[in-house]
């Protein structure tokens, strides 16, 4: 339990919670949409049961992801995926307009579980990557980070979404964090970590910073281009 007194552990835990919260706004929308056609007395049950099943599924997926990240080249692939996820986070899009709400409790729970499974890849990769920043207590970080952040998402999803809408800089910071985590993950891949440690240790600082900058610059550029194209289309 000595890791509890290590500042690096708490920094890694903060990363896990932040990326999980930033990336789970869509999941909160899915929960609301899937249960919108239920009678009021069943809506709370659908949210509780569906979210509980989704949490269990995400914990299992994340543990598997952490195990996979121990293999060579997997972290490099995960870093590229995280860069893409971070860029996508900065490009507004409506992904849930056609999601059907169910009129029965089990149908709504099933919809929440399936949709969350499909959407959880970004969360799983990001959380696993953040846990890699403190390898000696990866499992503990996952358990504590998910245990603290997921209830906050479920019960405070409406507040979180409103805060993000009011302060868009939170989304930008979250995307930059994903780029930073991607850089940290890349330089720790077993295929190149030994060479970096022996010949170019400075890359441990430069690559994460470059990842954060890359995500923000590319994401903002694509968002601006899409906005301009949309305005031109409606002109």
Does the predicted TM-score (pTM) go above 0.85?
Answer: no
8-57 pLDDT per residue, tens: 888 888 888 888 777 766 666 666 666 767 787 777 787 777 777 777 77
Q: pLDDT tens digits, residue range 176-190?
A: 998 999 999 899 898
Q: Identify whether the C-beta of residue 204 lies closer than 8 Å to the C-beta of residue 187.
A: yes
In this structure, the chain runs to a length of: 235
Work out the average pLDDT over 188-215: 94
pLDDT at 101 exceeding the cut of 60: no
Long-range CB contact pairs, 109-114, < 8 A, 24+: 109/46, 109/49, 109/50, 109/53, 111/30, 111/34, 111/50, 112/30, 112/31, 112/34, 112/35, 112/46, 112/47, 112/50, 112/51, 112/53, 112/54, 113/50, 113/53, 113/54, 113/57
């Amino acid at each position: 339990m000595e890791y509890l007194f290590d500042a690096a552990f708490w920094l890694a835990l903060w990363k896990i919670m932040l990326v999980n919260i930033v990336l789970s706004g869509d999941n909160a929308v899915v929960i609301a949409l899937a249960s919108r056609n239920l009678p009021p007395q069943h809506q709370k049950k659908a949210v509780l049961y569906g979210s509980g099943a989704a949490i269990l599924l995400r914990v299992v997926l994340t543990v598997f992801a952490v195990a996979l990240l121990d293999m060579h080249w997997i972290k490099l692939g995960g870093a590229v995926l995280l860069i893409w996820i971070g860029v996508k986070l900065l490009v507004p899009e409506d992904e849930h307009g056609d999601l059907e709400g169910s009129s029965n409790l089990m149908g709504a729970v099933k919809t929440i579980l399936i949709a969350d499974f499909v959407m959880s890849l970004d969360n799983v990769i990001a959380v696993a990557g953040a846990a890699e920043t403190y390898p000696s207590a990866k499992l503990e970080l996952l358990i504590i980070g998910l245990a603290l952040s997921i209830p906050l998402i479920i019960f405070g999803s409406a507040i979180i979404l409103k805060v993000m809408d009011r302060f868009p800089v939170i989304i930008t910071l979250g995307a930059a964090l994903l780029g930073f985590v991607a850089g940290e993950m890349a330089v720790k891949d077993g295929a190149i970590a030994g060479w970096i440690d022996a010949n170019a240790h400075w890359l441990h600082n430069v690559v994460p910073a470059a990842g954060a900058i890359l995500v923000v610059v590319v994401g903002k550029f694509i968002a601006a281009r899409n906005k301009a194209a949309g305005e031109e289309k409606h002109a």
